[in-house]
Structure 1
Amino acid sequence: MNDWRKSSLESTAVYRARVRGCLLGGALGDALGYAVEFSSLDQIRAAHGPRGLTRLVPDGEGVVGRVSDDTQMTLFTVEGLRTAARRARLKGIGGAETALVRQAYGRWLETQQRPGPADGVESGLLAERWLYARRAPGNACLSGLAQNHVPDPRAELSGAPGPVNPGSKGCGTVMRSAPFGLAHPSADFAFGMAARCAQTTHGHPTGYYAAGALAAIVAYLTRGESVEGATLRALRLLGRHPGHEETSAALNQALDLAAERDPSPEKVERLGAGWVAEEALAIGVYAALVTHRVEDALLLSVNHSGDSDSTGSICGNILGARHGDGGLPHEWLEQVEGRAVIAALADDLAAECLRD
């Protein structure tokens, strides 16, 4: 085998591993945090010991490894992007990502309204019975999708509020946006697409810029950047857009806090609680930056008073994109709900994007 062919095969294998790692890592962080979402740090420590969570624990119904709406919506993002890539490859028609992702979110909304798959549904995520579960979905996601808004994919990001929930910047935008960075090698393109698709539910500029920033970070990570390097490059990209200041300030605070070393839940809480987009992004980035072990970073990202499943999901997306699925703790992964479906969907997205 010549050197070029060997190098190409190796880079393809690394890309596939990072796509799988990003989606599985996000689900793992989500499952870790879902069991303690809405619990204060004091309550977490009282229930699980002075170190807080140290492993996956049962949720309120006694089930270990359940994922929340964060993973559900992330998977439907993947389904929409996979469909768009296939359409572009087979028909030579690009530019449909926004509409197809919005349609995919409509299918997710159906899973929140029905007890199970409709008669005759035998393929796609709508056929997965385990996804028909309400796991504390965000109000803006539910109300926003009821409006059926599809942003113009060619529109400039002006920093103005969007027409849907214009005052909302909840973390429901950012927790579902990592796949844009997996599907598009251009971080700039991934940023814009994630931001526009975020506007289907949340109109506040910080909400959609945080979504774009995570997509850009993931795009840089899949190309081999470090977490710090990817974050710095995403900050430069953010700086080109009006109204970026709140998102940029949160990321800079995460970088500064990580530089102090000595991570702790108390330092996590200096970044906020994660209920809003820029705080959730900052906590996920901080946890991924400040610790060397993947397990420690994931645990740090969920042991705080706030939206632990969303911050855990974002941290897991980042770590998985950086290290691939081989760098994730497999004993924990084995307990995550839907892991086989998630891995298969990741492989489908990677294969389609490689063909495209």
Structure 2
Amino acid sequence: MPLWSRAQQQDFRSRVRGCLLGGAVGDALGAGIEFDSLEKIRAAHGERGVTGYVPAYGRRGAVTDDTQMSLFTLDGLIRAHISRDTGTWHPPTDVHRAYLRWHATQRDWGPDERRADLGWLGREEWLYAQRAPGQACLSGLSGPDAERLGTVEAPRNPHSKGCGTVMRAAPFGLLTAWDPGLVFQLAVECSVLTHGHPTGYLSAGALAVIVHAVARGGTLEEGVHLALALLSERPQHEETTAALRGALDAVRAGEPSAERIETLGEGWVAEEALAIGLYCALVAEDVRTGLLLAVNHSGDSDSTGAICGNLLGALHGETALPAGLVAELEGRGTILQLADDFVLELTAGPELHGTPVWAERYPTG
């Protein structure tokens, strides 16, 4: 008997694709207005704000560092899963190496063909572009000790809780066979590779657990309450807990609006980005309205849009995403291929391990 039935594989694939594509669509919707105030957005685009993609980085549908880092997170998780065959099992190390490969895309003109470790994702030339990457992400992965693995006890950038720690955390929640507590811990251990403030890494853990709950077929509310329970066991959880409770309170406060979003913050720091993205997913009538609500505010529109899209995509699956936005999305083919490879690895890994094509795509060691 296979571990995964065909129906389970199809549902999982739809949710993984939905999470990755939804996050990228939300990211791209916010990319062109990321640094604009609500007043400026409405002056330029009308009272409703943006209603679709606006040009950013020379095109419509462009993604930012949020999507770039999410893709490299997934790449690292695939390699970690493969590494189990070798007896080497430390996923944060594989994710750290993946982030170092992302960092190379921020400084190099294109892929260095001499590097055997790049794999297929590291050779995607369109990813070699700076899209306003966070300073903590850059500094945490550079310098003479860039190879040093940050840990909870000795994190990189111990005072940083920028949203760069949470906007890349959704892929951890796609490890649906894992226990929620382990998903939370892995997201934390991979967050401190660049962001060491407890609120930052606990926000990443919380998002991963909420994604995990909905990817397993649960509701957003169930995911939030599970995240709150896991947070209560951690020291210095108060800011993250307050942010999640604030999002739940905002749902009950009345009609959704940009002004209500701004009571949750602007999204530049991790717990605010999490609260805004979650709130917009909770009140969304459909994926499009949720995403547009998540980006039309004063603040980090691309990150809040990405988090909302991750959640709604994992909740509803890829077919719920607005087709016109998906069709125009930068890097759609790469995103889909990586998502499908992740599903293949988790559902049929033993059939792939040792094959030349898989070893070339995802070199380990």
Verify same fold: TM over 0.5: yes
Tell me if 1:132 matches 2:128: yes
Which segment is superposed worse, 131-140 or 231-240?
Answer: 231-240
Report deviation, 1:92: 4.4
* Matched ranges for 1:143-158 at <5 A: 143-146=139-142, 147-151=146-150
In structure 1, the residue corresponding to 2:272 is in which secondary structure? helix
In structure 1, the residue corresponding to 2:194 is in which secondary structure? coil
Q: Is the 8 A contact 1:18 1:321 kept in 2?
A: yes
Letter in structure 2 aligned against 1:141: C
Q: For 1:120 and 1:144, locate their aligned partners in 2 and report how far apart those are by CA, in whole Å.
A: 24
Report deviation, 1:30: 0.3
Q: Is the 8 A contact 1:235 1:248 kept in 2?
A: yes
Q: Is the 8 A contact 1:148 1:200 kept in 2?
A: no
Structure 2 counterpart of 1:70: 66
Which segment is superposed worse, 254-263 or 292-301?
Answer: 254-263
Structure 1 counterpart of 2:291: 298
Q: For 2:78 and 2:176, locate their aligned partners in 1 and report how far apart those are by CA, in whole Å.
A: 11
Q: For 1:142 and 1:150, locate their aligned partners in 2 and report how far apart those are by CA, in whole Å.
A: 14
Structure 2 counterpart of 1:91: 86
Decide whether aligned partners of structure 1 residues 7 and 85 sit closer, same or farther in structure 2, where only a CA change above 3 A counts. closer
Once the two structures are superposed, residues 59-108 of structure 1 have per-residue CA deviations (whole angstroms, 9 ceiling, x without a partner) of 2x5410000000000000000000011121x33443x2000000000000
Runs of 5+ in structure 2 lacking a partner? 350-365
Q: For 1:118 and 1:189, locate their aligned partners in 2 and report how far apart those are by CA, in whole Å.
A: 35
The root-mean-square deviation of aligned C-alpha atoms, in Å, is 1.8
Once the two structures are superposed, residues 168-194 of structure 1 have per-residue CA deviations (whole angstroms, 9 ceiling, x without a partner) of 100000000111111253221111011
Runs of 5+ in structure 1 lacking a partner? none
* Matched ranges for 1:183-332 at <5 A: 183-185=175-177, 186-332=179-325
Identity %: 53
Q: For 1:5 and 1:148, locate their aligned partners in 2 and report how far apart those are by CA, in whole Å.
A: 39
Report deviation, 1:119: 3.0
Once the two structures are superposed, residues 232-281 of structure 1 have per-residue CA deviations (whole angstroms, 9 ceiling, x without a partner) of 11111111111111101000000110122410000011100000000000
Structure 2 counterpart of 1:171: 163
Letter in structure 1 aligned against 2:28: A
Letter in structure 2 aligned against 1:78: L
Report deviation, 1:11: 1.7
Structure 1 counterpart of 2:108: 114
In structure 2, the residue corresponding to 1:176 is in which secondary structure? coil
Q: For 2:150 and 2:348, locate their aligned partners in 1 and report how far apart those are by CA, in whole Å.
A: 27
Structure 2 counterpart of 1:37: 34
Tell me if 1:355 matches 2:352: no
Letter in structure 2 aligned against 1:73: M
Letter in structure 2 aligned against 1:349: F
Once the two structures are superposed, residues 154-212 of structure 1 have per-residue CA deviations (whole angstroms, 9 ceiling, x without a partner) of xxx6xx7x432111100000000111111253221111011111101111000000011
With the length of structure 2 as denominator, give the TM-score of the two structures: 0.90
Q: Is the 8 A contact 2:155 2:194 kept in 1?
A: no
Once the two structures are superposed, residues 106-143 of structure 1 have per-residue CA deviations (whole angstroms, 9 ceiling, x without a partner) of 00000000111123568421110100000000001101
Aligned length: 343
